[in-house]
């Protein structure tokens, strides 16, 4: 197979491999092995996911998003910002654009490295839901911000074993069979909102999760009195800003802004995924 040109980008440390597949040259049968192969850290490029940019009849482009384990994802906030900037850098779209995802049409505005994207209106936010874990009962919130999320307020996210607890929540029978992402938020001494996320599909903690930050912002609004826009400091130390409105007792007009960093470009050879 001929080498495949790719771009490596990240949003607040949540990293992705982006491939321009508008000529649809990648065969469907190849994709599972390709995605899992090139996302391996150490053995290949390494990433939390892969984004394919493809033709769309209703928008500037269509994306297909794959988690590192090869599973398709409906939406990814950090990935959406990277895809939008990729499209501008490659002349696929202008600075104001829209693209097609499995979660619906997404609009974006690109200002250099900073990108703002709309997210689909969230599902119903449920607060104070009991959840039985091996260490006892937790009280959590749940909301779908393009993908399902559980959000738990904790005294100190830095003191938490996010991988162990996040993995248990992710695979909890209450959320079967699809599973869920698990997010943990707290406030530091200066009043900043901190967030850490265990991501379904990556099956590990990531340095940031865009849709998770959106979910965390809505919980902070309901339980901490935070007003829009809400700024959340991710595990990478970078900040995601979430805007929202309320209408009819529900959250709407969800927007997220943050960096979409261009890291490097290159060519993938078959050895990268074999």
Distance CA 217, CA 251 (A): 11
Give start and end residues of each alpha helix (H) in the chain. Answer: 31-38, 77-89, 162-170, 210-223
| Residues recorded for the chain | 274
Q: Residue 132: what pLDDT?
A: 98
Say whether 45 sits in a helix, a strand or coil. coil
Nearest Cα to 147, choosing from 206, 59, 90? 206
Q: Residue 117: what pLDDT?
A: 97
76 catalytic residue (yes or no): yes
Judge whether residue 199 has pLDDT over 90. yes
Q: What is the mean pLDDT of residues 185-196?
A: 93
Q: State the catalytic residue, choosing from 12, 39, 82, 209.
A: 209
Q: State the catalytic residue, choosing from 39, 76, 82, 252.
A: 76
Q: What is the mean pLDDT of residues 153-160?
A: 96
Residues 133 and 94 sit within 8 Å (Cβ to Cβ): no
DSSP track, 70-92: S-EES--HHHHHHHHHHHHHTTS
Mean pLDDT rounded to a whole number for the chain: 96
Judge whether residue 65 has pLDDT over 80. yes
Residues 117 and 243 sit within 8 Å (Cβ to Cβ): no
Judge whether residue 56 has pLDDT over 90. yes
State the Rg of the chain over Cα: 18
Domains plus CATH for the chain? 4-118+261-272 (3.10.310.10), 126-258 (3.10.310.10)
């Amino acid at each position: 197979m001929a080498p495949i040109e790719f771009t490596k980008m990240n949003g607040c440390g949540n990293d992705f491999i982006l491939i321009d597949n508008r000529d649809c040259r990648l065969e469907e049968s190849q994709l599972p092995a390709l995605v899992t192969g090139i996302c391996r850290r150490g053995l290949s490029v390494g990433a939390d996911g892969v984004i394919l940019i493809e033709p769309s009849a209703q928008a500037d482009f269509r994306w297909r998003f794959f988690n590192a384990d090869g599973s398709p994802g409906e939406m990814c906030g950090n990935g959406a910002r990277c895809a939008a900037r990729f499209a501008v850098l490659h002349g696929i779209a202008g600075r104001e654009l829209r693209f097609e995802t499995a979660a619906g049409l997404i609009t974006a505005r690109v200002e250099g490295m900073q990108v703002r994207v709309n997210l689909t209106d969230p599902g119903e936010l449920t607060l104070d839901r009991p959840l039985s874990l091996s260490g006892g009962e937790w009280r959590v919130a749940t909301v779908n911000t393009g993908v399902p999320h559980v959000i738990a307020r904790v005294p100190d996210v830095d003191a938490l074993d996010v991988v162990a607890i996040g993995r248990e929540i992710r695979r909890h029978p209450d959320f079967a069979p699809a599973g869920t992402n698990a997010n943990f938020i707290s406030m530091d001494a200066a009043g900043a909102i901190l967030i850490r996320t265990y991501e379904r599909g990556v099956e590990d903690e990531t340095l940031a999760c865009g849709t998770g930050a959106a979910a965390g912002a809505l919980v902070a609004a309901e339980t901490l009195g935070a007003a829009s826009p809400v700024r959340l400091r991710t595990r990478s130390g970078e900040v995601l800003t979430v805007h929202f409105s309320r209408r009819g007792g529900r959250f709407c007009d969800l927007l997220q802004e943050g960096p979409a960093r261009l890291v490097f470009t290159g060519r993938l050879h078959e050895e990268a995924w074999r």
